Structures are given as C-alpha cells and as structure tokens.
A and B are shown apart, each in its own frame.
Chain A
Amino acid sequence: MDKNTQLYKQLYSIRHFETLLLENFPTGVFHGTTHTSLGQEANAVGILSHINEDDVVVSNHRCHGHFLAYGGDPAALFAELMGKPAGVCGGIGGSQHLHWRNFYSSGVQGGTVAMAAGMALAEKLSGKDAVVVDFMGDGTLGEGIVYECLNMIALWDAPILIVLEDNHIAQTTPSHLAIAGDMQKRFEAFGIPTTRLDTSDILEILPTASRLIEKVRFVRKPQALIIETARLGTHSKGDDTRTSEMLTRLWQTRDPIAIHGARLSEQDREAVEQEVKEHLGSAFQTALEMEGGGS
C-alpha cells in the first residue's frame, strides 16, 4: 500500500470509529458520554506517526483519535465505552480516562498538562531519550495550572512537545469569548519555541511534526505546536451551538478525510473505506459479544 493510501486508512479508521460511536449511542449500547475527534483526525495521525515505542502520549477528554492513532485496539475501546470488563480500563475509565502502554488520558482540563510535564521530567531525570507528547485544546488555556506547568517545563527543560489543537471552540464557547491576547505568545512568554499551523491536511502536518519531535528528542528542551483545526462534530453529544451555515462551511473546507481522500483514486478510496468498515464493524461486533457491561 502506498503512503497516501496508508494515511487515508488511518484517518478514515478514526472517522469511521467515531461515526459508528455516534450512530450507535442512541441504541443504548454505549454508556456515559463521549467527545469525538471528527475533523481533528489529521492532528492525531500526523503527530503520532513520528513517535517511537518509548515515547509517552498524554491526551485529554477528546482522546479517541489519539488513542487509535497511537495503536490502541478499537475493539478494546468499543468495549470500554460499552462498560465491559475487557475494555481498555476494565470499564472503569470510560471514554475520557484511558491508559494503555505509554498512552494516558484524563478528563480534567489542565490536569493532564501537569501529568505530562511530570512524566517528561521523569524521563529526563532517568537519562532516557523519550519524548512526551501532550495534546491540549484552546479551552485548556483558561486553566491556571497550564501556566504553572509551562513555566516549570521551560525552567527545567522538560523534553515535551505540547500540541494545542485550536478548534476555536470550547464546548459551546468560541475562543474569542474566552481567550485574550495571543495564544502563541503565551508559550513564547515562557521561552518555549512555538510553531503555528493552520491546516487540516495531513501532508502539511507530517513534516512539521517530525521536525519538532526530533528536536525535542535531541535537544531535550520543550516545543509547542499550535494547530488550527476544526471540530466537525459536537462537543460531546447534542451540544453544538454553531450555526448550520458555519458547520457546512467547515465540513466543506476543513475535513481532513475529504482533503486527503481527494488524493486517492475513487477506486482506492472506496477499497480502503470498505476494508475499514469491515474491520471496525467486526471490532464493534466483538465488543458487543464480550461479557458484562449491563445496562
């Protein structure tokens, strides 16, 4: 399979997983809440294509895309969301609190930045060359602990890449109502070199991500990457106050699956989609048949 097709498969896998999730929620097979990564798939795939086995990934409430791009098992994730003992965290963590290998996520804004900072410092103090990648959102910038940790990350040279996925909205609050001043300057105020990307195209994300991760790995100092992106779905379920015009426009111009899919022939695209649908359909089925998870 050529590179583009491979990438499309990864992107589409996340897209389809989240779609299946949203379609099946009303049937009651999934419990609790979830925060889907629709529109942000390229960020996850683009950045996590460049990490190695010992690197650590920390994510937030919107973590499915990161988890799957990291290599997490979709059946285990479905099962976790179904509340089954065979799920990623035995049904205890649910959608927001996942841990597998070196992947960790949690649902309190800002708290994960501290966790990631500590992890990076631990990796550094033990003399390893691992990198910690931490995903946060624009809304996270409201939390004080973020600034406390940016300060210490810079002060102590934590080997961390902070990826801020700026989808311009935090739940139902657009960023212009929540963020004063400049996002990039916040990081730079602490002396953390910051790169800004405004794209939903994976081929534009990949080289930047590669460069930044290498830099963190070898220079052993922090970097920040702000990716302007689009959240194509609701915050969790049913909570989207944006107008339908706006959403349509976003779907038309900022859909990473459409953008990258256009590079493949229709035939190849459909073949990949079919494969993914079968694979995820079967993962879903497997999870359904697993024990436990009462209603």
Chain B
Amino acid sequence: MSSKSPVTVLDSLNLGLHQAMRDDPRVILLGEDVLDPYGGAFKVTRGLSSQFPKRVLTTPISEAGITGIAGGMALRGMRPVVEIMFGDFTTLIADQVINHLSKFQAMYHDRVRVPVVIRTPMGGRRGYGPTHSQSLEKFFLGVPGLTILAPFHIKGFETLGTPGKLLYDAIAALDFPVFFVENKTQYLLKLMSTNDLQEYEVSQIETAGAPAFPFYKLALRSAPKAQITLAAYGYMAHLALKAALRLAYEDEIFCEVLVPTQLSPFELAPLFDSVNQTTCLLTIEEGTLTLGWGAEVLARTTEVLGPSLKVARRLAATGAVVPAAPDQEADCLPGIEDIIVRVREMA
C-alpha cells in the first residue's frame, strides 16, 4: 500500500477504503469485478483484495441480491460496503434500499443497526450512452432512514483528502445506511490544495445534523460581495467554481459557491445564510430537473427565507436520455457555459 499523499479524488477514496478496512475487521466489501489486478471498473477498490483477501467479495451480477445480503450482514454485526458499478444500476437496488435497509432500524423499534455503505459512480461526459451516464441519486433523496453523501474535491487538512475522509467516516463512524454518490469525471479531479484555492476564500462549515458533515463555502478572495449563491455538489461543484471564476473576471458578476457533502437528510443552514445575503440562488445538478435536488433546495429556501429570496432558479440535465455522441451529450448535461449563461440571465 502506498503511503504517498493522494493526488486525485480517486486516490483519496481508495486510501479511505484501505484505512477503513485496516481499522475495523468487520468491514467487508462486495462488488462486481473488484478483485485485483483489475481493482474495480473505476479502480476505486484497487489493492483491497490483495491486502484483505477474505474481506473482498467479488459478486455475480446481482445488484439487488448483494444489497440485500449486505443488509442481512449488517444486521448481524458486519459493516458492509457495496459497490454498484454504475449509478444507473441503482434502480435495481431500490427495493432493498427503500423497503429494507432504510427501514429496519425504525420498524424493528430501534433494536437493530444497519451500517451499510453503498457507493456508486454517477455521471456522464464519457460517451457511455443513456444507461451508463445518469445521475440518479435524486430518486433516493428524502428516503427516510437513508443518508446520502457526495464528496468534494478539496484536499483540506486531511491526510486522506476530504473525499477519502468522508468515505472513511461513512464506513467507520456511522451506524445507518449511507448512499455515497461518486462521479466518474470527479474521480480524476486533482484534490485542490491551498495553492490551488488562492483565488478563493474557503470556509468549512459543520452542519447542524447529527452527525455533522462539512458544508463548504467558496467566495472570491478580496472581491466585491457576492450577488448570487451557486449551490452545487460533487462534480458540478468543480464546474460551478470554474464558472464563478469566469463570471467574476469576465462579467464582474460575483458568486459564492456553496457545496454540501451531505445531500440527504437536507441540512441547508449554511446555504440559507448565504442566500440571505445574496438574495439570489442558482442550484446546479447533473440529474434531471423535475423533482430533483434543486427542487427541494428551492422549496426549503423559499420556506425559510420567504420574500428575502428574490431570484431562484435551477440548472439541470435536459433531454429524454443522455446521448452517447459527445457534442449531444455536452448539450444535455450542464457545463460551465450553461452556468455562465444562466447566471448572466439572473444577474
């Protein structure tokens, strides 16, 4: 196992998994094609089956089965981590997640715990086509008893990097089911260090939830006060930051970017504080628009801020499917230009 510092989000997640498995013998990993040397379709699990041969199970192509099995294992004292190879396939596990894993604790009158982490890469921009490019986490948002997390590509002061630390905490420290939303393009992003963030003033705010997960606020350093709040998570946060930089420099429209790592249950206090100042909100997501993440964020922001919220819009994927052709795919999924255009409309 390499002891070098993580460079990318992928490195960070891999290190987080290694650390979690090292620290607790009850952690067991199930997934398709996870054995070394292949190490998983996106290599996130690389090295684990060599280090921990008895605790990495390569499974048949049975997403529902392995998720249900993970639930049973958790009920009897293990801490399973399930990899669903593509986020698109999470539709297959919906029954196990919604009717079983997320309900056991409550329906058995708090007498059991279900420490399962289901991790999966969502997202397109690889030309993989309609059934391999979606962002389906929106269908699981708001399922009671289910926590949904998405890492942010910032190194922070964590040896593992913040994505690895988030995953580590999800596995080691939480006793309830977690849906950990990764992103194919985000895997390759370099973790931003202090040097990379010189243009920004970064704050890390702990949310009020129990446990709390970090919520990041990035404003342009030494620039005029932000006029608009951009809310985004995962890979879209990267695009939002790029757009914010260009909007500042090219149009003198100043944004602050709010990035939650906990998507569900919704803990949006830091966002409300920001929008209270800017009065203008744009949510940006890679999933589809209707009843998506942005819809809930806008509903809650409206409830809390009322008429103080003057302008609110959502930016999301369009189209019936995510096309395979790169130019058509780029049209469908929100990009930096789309964010810039929308913000210019709103400012």
Which residues on A are within 8 Å of B, measured CB to CB? Answer: 56, 88-90, 92-93, 97, 99, 104, 106, 108, 111, 113-123, 125-126, 144-145, 148-149, 151-152, 155-156
B95-115 residues with Cβ-Cβ distance < 8 A to A are: 95-96, 99-100, 106-109, 111-112
Which residues on B are within 8 Å of A, measured CB to CB? Answer: 28, 54, 57, 59-60, 62, 64-78, 80, 95-96, 99-100, 106-109, 111-112
Tell me whether B65 and A149 are in contact (CB under 8 A). Answer: yes
Residue of A nearest to B64 (CB): A145
Tell me whether A118 and B100 are in contact (CB under 8 A). Answer: no
Given the complex, which residues of B lie within 8 Å of A90, measured CB to CB? 109
Known: A92-B106, A93-B109. A148 touches B100 (CB 8 A): no
B32 to chain A, nearest CB (A): 12
Residue of B nearest to A150 (CB): B65
Most buried by A among B68, B106, B112: B68
- Interface of A, secondary structure class, is helix
B265 to chain A, nearest CB (A): 19
- Interface of B, secondary structure class, is helix
Tell me whether A111 and B96 are in contact (CB under 8 A). Answer: yes
Q: Give the A-B pair count, Cβ closer than 8 A.
A: 112
Given the complex, which residues of B lie within 8 Å of A108, measured CB to CB? 95, 99-100
- In Å, the complex CA distance between A156 and B64 comes to 17
Tell me whether A152 and B69 are in contact (CB under 8 A). Answer: yes
B9 to chain A, nearest CB (A): 30
Residue of B nearest to A116 (CB): B72
Tell me whether A97 and B76 are in contact (CB under 8 A). Answer: no
B24 to chain A, nearest CB (A): 13
Given the complex, which residues of B lie within 8 Å of A117, measured CB to CB? 65, 68-69, 72
Most buried by B among A56, A119, A151: A119
Tell me whether A152 and B109 are in contact (CB under 8 A). Answer: no
Known: A108-B95, A152-B59. A114 touches B72 (CB 8 A): yes
Given the complex, which residues of A lie within 8 Å of B111, measured CB to CB? 99
- In Å, the complex CA distance between A90 and B105 comes to 12
Tell me whether A126 and B77 are in contact (CB under 8 A). Answer: yes
Closest 10 CB pairs of A and B: A118-B72, A114-B68, A148-B65, A148-B62, A118-B69, A99-B108, A122-B76, A119-B72, A115-B72, A122-B73
Tell me whether A122 and B72 are in contact (CB under 8 A). Answer: yes
- In Å, the complex CA distance between A92 and B144 comes to 15
Query: Out of A99, A119, A126, A152, which one reaches B65, CB within 8 Å?
Result: A152
Known: A108-B95, A118-B71. A144 touches B108 (CB 8 A): no
A104 to chain B, nearest CB (A): 7
Tell me whether A114 and B69 are in contact (CB under 8 A). Answer: yes
